[in-house]
Amino acid sequence: MEKLHGICTITITPFTEDGQVDLPSLRNLTNFYLDNGVDGLTILGIMGESNKLTEAERMQVIEETVTTVQGRVPIIVGCTAPGTDVAIHYAKTAEQLGASAIMVAPPLNLRNEQAIIHHYQMIGDAISIPIVVQDEPVTTNVTMSAKLLAQLERDVSNVEYIKLEEAPSPIKITQILNESDSLTILGGLGGVYFYEELERGANGTMTGFAYPDVLKEIYQTYTSGEKEKAQRLFFHYLPLIRFEAQLGMGGVTIRKEIFKMRNIIESAHVRFPRKAIDDQTLSEAKQLIEQLEREKSN
């Protein structure tokens, strides 16, 4: 597999209005991502509502995505679970169904470093594909130091990537690269630090921003050496990036509404428990989208 890089979009899981997995919308959404030049798809993450899916539904989402993608980009499957045995089961299933890599966060509230290392070692021993370590302290309540992340790479042969969600991410990128010059780091946090993450040495980003073509343009411009232009593009779109990443909604509800507005999915349904969007927030989202579309057409 080619090294993960660029825009490895965190995908949503579309549902029908009555809460069933919407496979036609999933196909349409996957093709939308591919048509907009993403470099990878990360499915069954937090934004994919993986904790609200049954085992059968998880397999549906993986199989449908793999079938639609047909090897055009890597597929990274979220395999985080409360227990190691369940995470191993998810990881082995993902590999069997065609995943290119898996993404795993530590179990909730696990603050023993040796136990964290052992957790990843057991998963790594069960599969042959790469592991993306998801450093997500807000959801997991586990803070992993740069030294621990570097230790994971040394102690687990298939730990190759860090998906960084600890703010401020640019500072932590520097800390990690001071400990290991071989780990590949992918940013996150909704893209709000995307330009600064690239400046610090990130190899791309894993985020669910609903305009992946915008992130792709910033990334291509930056990596072609036009840093000032990339910075201008980033600052131009930052209001929408910031709006999507509002805390308290987790990005999922807003992004589903945006995908529905753009006729990419049929329904913006988010499974319970969820955060509802008030009419004012929806109106603000529409205004930002309309402005973005006007600017793209000029």
The fold adopted by the segment(s) 6-234 is: TIM Barrel (3.20.20)
Domain ranges of the chain: 6-234
Residue 245's alpha-carbon distances to 209, 241, 260, in angstroms, are 8, 6, 17
CB 38 within 8 A of CB 29: no
pLDDT at 250: 56
* β partners of residue 131: 102, 159
In angstroms, the CA 214 to CA 195 distance is 12
* Tens-place pLDDT, residues 103-161: 999 999 999 999 999 999 999 999 999 999 999 999 999 999 999 999 999 999 999 99
pLDDT at residue 221 greater than cutoff 60 = yes
- Read off the pLDDT of each residue in 43-55 and give the average, rounded to a whole number: 96
> Global pTM?
0.96
* Tens-place pLDDT, residues 5-36: 999 999 999 999 999 999 999 999 999 999 99
- Residue 250 gets which letter from DSSP? T
Per-residue confidence at 89, pLDDT binned at 50, 70, 90? very high
CB 118 within 8 A of CB 85: no
pLDDT at residue 177 greater than cutoff 70 = yes
- Read off the pLDDT of each residue in 265-294 and give the average, rounded to a whole number: 88
* β partners of residue 159: 131
pLDDT at residue 249 greater than cutoff 60 = no
pLDDT at 295: 80
